A and B are shown apart, each in its own frame.
Chain A
Amino acid sequence: MSDVILKVENLSKTFHSTNGQTTQALDKVSFKIRRGEIFSLVGESGSGKSTAGRCLIGLERPSSGSIVFFGKRMQIIFQDAVSALSPRLTIGQSVMEPLDINHIGSRSSRKEKALEFLRLVGLDESSFYRLPSDYSGGQQQRASIARALALEPDLIIADEPVASLDVSIQAQVISLFQNLRQKNGTSFLLIAHDLSLVRRVSDTVGVMKDGVLVESGATEQVYQNPQHPYTQALIQAIPVPDPAFRQHK
């Protein structure tokens, strides 16, 4: 089992609303993430992919099932970097905060470390002293990634990390993930709705619909030979960037 970093078995989550209605957000979801793997969960809004991520990191308590984590640390990156960073802390303070809380190293070594991670995500030294409001959405997302990296997690859960970013910035963030995986062997659970992005970056993909993992497998295999009708519909709906290939005449 040493190559597996996370094992999820029969994970279910039911939400109860005040008027007595229940919603089955996750229904017996099982999957494994190997070390150094980029595993993607795709599906439309309401399919339960974010709930799965939140259960893994303990932001939601699962109704049943098991989650076994074989690594040391897990971190989450949210979609909205602007609300994920405190507007009152400088970027440097935000990145140092997890180190401060965990009393890792000395004050100066923490600063050194924060600077190192800022450089890694492509932000220059001056960002350490500046407020998030001085930066664009893409830069803020990179700062929040730097903070997620600060404790050197071996698994990063990234919930729609680039959905609110421009295409050119998306590419920057995604290459950053790939570099981290290559350099540090970091594993990723990428939660996304952009199917061509998922195809590009992930080794394994799981397709969710109404709380059920309807299909999973090696990314290329799933894309080239989708088995489930829902996966087929999703793949067909990807807009092709070629006017000669209009999906509807």
Chain B
Amino acid sequence: MEPLLEVKNLKIDFTTEYGVIQAVRGVSFSVYPGETLALVGESGCGKSVLCKSILGILHSRGKITGGEILFEGKRISGLGEKELTAIRGREIGMVFQNPAAALNPTLTIGKQLAEAVQVHGKLPKQECRARVLKLLELVGIDRPEERMKSYPHEFSGGMLQRAVIAIALAGNPKLLIADEPTTALDVTIQAQILKLLKDLQQKTGIAILFISHDLGVVAQVADRVAVLYAGKIVESGSATEIYSDPRHPYTWGLFRSLPCAKTNGALIPMPGQVPDMLHPPKGDAFAERNSYALAIDFEEEPPLFHVTGTHYAATWLLHPEAPAVKSPVLVHSGEVLVNE
């Protein structure tokens, strides 16, 4: 199958008054039709910058300095505003973290949805209304006829996120980018929105690029997972491979930090901080925080080593000459067990 979205060796720099920040340092991944790929990482790892670059909405200080982005085989990185407008919403929809900020407080939900519908081709009033009602129904909003007359402040957080998803779906996109779509929501509402996304995918076959820092949430939705650290993908594989056989020490650290992780004693925090990408460290960017770091980690960046045909990780521990290290993390029967 041909990938829907292909990101190839993408590099993005931000120019600031202090110097150049390398936010994305050679990232490659693909999203296939109908699947969910989750990008996992902490704040500052470059995941939001990546999404924005796909839609061409990078901050003016950010610039793609290498690589390319292909959508259905066509290069979309570097396109002009006019061509990008045709892609945004129609080919690729986007859902942001904070639904309240994504909506206009002075317009009714129905008006905002109608606006999104009309952008993708003028429709007669009645047809547009029917489409709005259908979208509201699709995202599970009850009594859509009544609800379309409501203003955002009359909606709860979960309902707002449903409305935002409806807007993102207005142009029948093939790919939905969801950037931390449930982070601002309560846990019971989060579960509903995750279910909604999965249901939508089943109904419409839409592909989802899901951005999250939460391994719990990711396990619920992802078919494949890519772990980002300091602007690079450090591990990637099917969800089953990443959870049942994680290979990168950073992925282990993410699991260990989970409050639900069962350790022998206290919670095991990851030491240190994300490196300052104004001055990227020599060697592996994670070496400083990595208790499994080898001498070579401080000298040379590890390449991607294959574990299986679909699973690979950028750690020298996978080099044939490296000492054998067993993963301290085991995900089994819904529990994360840490053995250290």
Contact = CB atoms under 8 A, between A and B. Distances in A.
Interface of A: 44-45, 136-139, 166-172, 174-175, 178, 193-197, 199-201, 233-234, 236-248
3 smallest beta-carbon distances between A and B, as pairs: A239-B216, A171-B269, A168-B270
Contact of A239 (B190, B267, B268): B190
6 contacts: A171-B269, A171-B270, A175-B266, A234-B187, A238-B187, A243-B240
Nearest to B199: A248
B191 to A, nearest CB: 4
Given A166-B213, A242-B331, A248-B195, A172 B258 contact: no
Contact of B219 (A167, A241, A248): A241
Nearest to A249: B198
Q: How large is the interface on B (under 10, 10 to 19, 20 to 34, 35 or more residues)?
A: 35 or more
A239 B219 contact: yes
A244 B186 contact: no
Nearest to B182: A239
A3 to B, nearest CB: 24
B259 A194 contact: yes
Contacts of A174: 259, 267, 269
A246 B190 CA distance: 14
A245 B268 CA distance: 24
A171 B257 CA distance: 6
B216 A137 contact: no
Interface in B25-45: 42-44
Interface stretch (B143-151, B304-312, B332-340): B332-340
Interface of B: 42-44, 157, 186-191, 194-195, 198, 213-220, 222, 239-240, 243-244, 253-260, 266-270, 273-274, 331-336
Given A171-B259, A175-B269, A241 B253 contact: no
Interface centre among A167, A196, A197 (most CB of B within 10 A): A167
B191 A239 contact: yes
Contacts of A245: 219, 333-334
A241 B215 CA distance: 6
A172 B270 CA distance: 7
